[in-house]
Structure 1
Amino acid sequence: MKKFGLSLLVLSSVLLLGACGDSSSSTSDSDTIAKLEKTVDSLKKENEKLKSGQGSQSEASTTSESAIESSEPTASLGINEEAVYKTDDGKDAFATKVIKASTNQADFPEHMVSLPEYDTTNMIAVTVEFRNITLTDPFSVSAGEFIAYDASGKAYQQVDQQDGMDSVAAGRGSTSTMFWEVPNAGSVNEIEIDYTPYVAYGVAPTPFKVPVTH
């Protein structure tokens, strides 16, 4: 806005000086003044457009991502079934799937198994694979985006641990494992998980229902 205001001031000064100049050059000055008047009119119109928010968007940044609009799945996804999220212009943005849910102690980090504050024999470890397809910013998943439930719909208590928190650039992927306290975990054969990605504003959770291996 300041740039346009400065241009108008300079051109107005030129017009004033031209009007006070030598009459012997009036013909050429008239042509020059006419051109300057057209330029001033054009700048005034552009200035008004910018004030009203209708101006050209050519100077606006075009590097920001489109908002994530929706995820395709509406029914529960099974093991290794991928949820693909798209931008509002239809481009694939990122994808996530559950590749394992397990009570096997080998699927827990060594420090959790060895420390007395973690009863890993009554936990389920859920491993998620994720891909950054086209997002400009590095992408990862967070434990806080996942809620696990028992068969009755009651939420399990999530453990404050996450194994694998790498953020990946477009075209790359990684895995991450989260943990839930599950009473009598060895007898649980299926777990339900809702995933609500932080970067997908306002979308409904994507449900997963996957078998638990022992």
Structure 2
Amino acid sequence: MALDACYHAIPYEPLLERAMQDRDAAEGAVQFFDTLATDDISNYWDEPICLELAPVARRIVTERPGILDRRLSTRGWDAVYWLLAPNRRNQQEQDPTGLAEIAVFGAEPFASGATATQGFPLRFVRPPTARIVAEYIESSLDSAARLFDAEAMKASSVYKGPWDRDHLLDLLAKYAQLYRLAADLDECVLVVLD
């Protein structure tokens, strides 16, 4: 069983706003935003919430050009976390308000209690926080290059090795770019661990 982290730029209104109070909207529609926005789901998906929100997702794609490209999916999320967070490198507890944790795991759960299919809470980052996260990651790029240590990562049981330094530094830059772009376009970043 693989655990990927997927990050999607999505405007707060109307989908995330609805998902805050409606677990079905979060788990059935927001989590599968790309599919709803691009596929004719009526042929294979009969969940009423998905059928209701598919036209909304398509409208968002029309109104926000390039939104489907504002996404990132990776199994290297724990390596990114290790590079960004001193507490992760020291095998200490997560800091729920730490910028490294927000970058990798999101800032805010849905009030509806929505989870991804494997049970991890769906979380998101609002645009002002996304800007702060982008700045934090950008300011960490030089230190991340110096901190990279595959043996230490292995000893810390970082998920999904082996790790390549250049790949991880590029991945960090992609995280920063996604968060910055989402903030600039007044979009949230939905975080799905699944």
**TM-score interval (norm. to shorter):** under 0.3
Relative contact order (alpha carbons < 8 A, sep ≥ 6): 1 or 2 greater? 2
Select the structure that is richer in strand: 1
Q: TM-score, normalised by structure 1?
A: 0.22
Q: TM-score, normalised by structure 2?
A: 0.23
Computing the radius of gyration from Cα coordinates, the structure with the larger value is 1
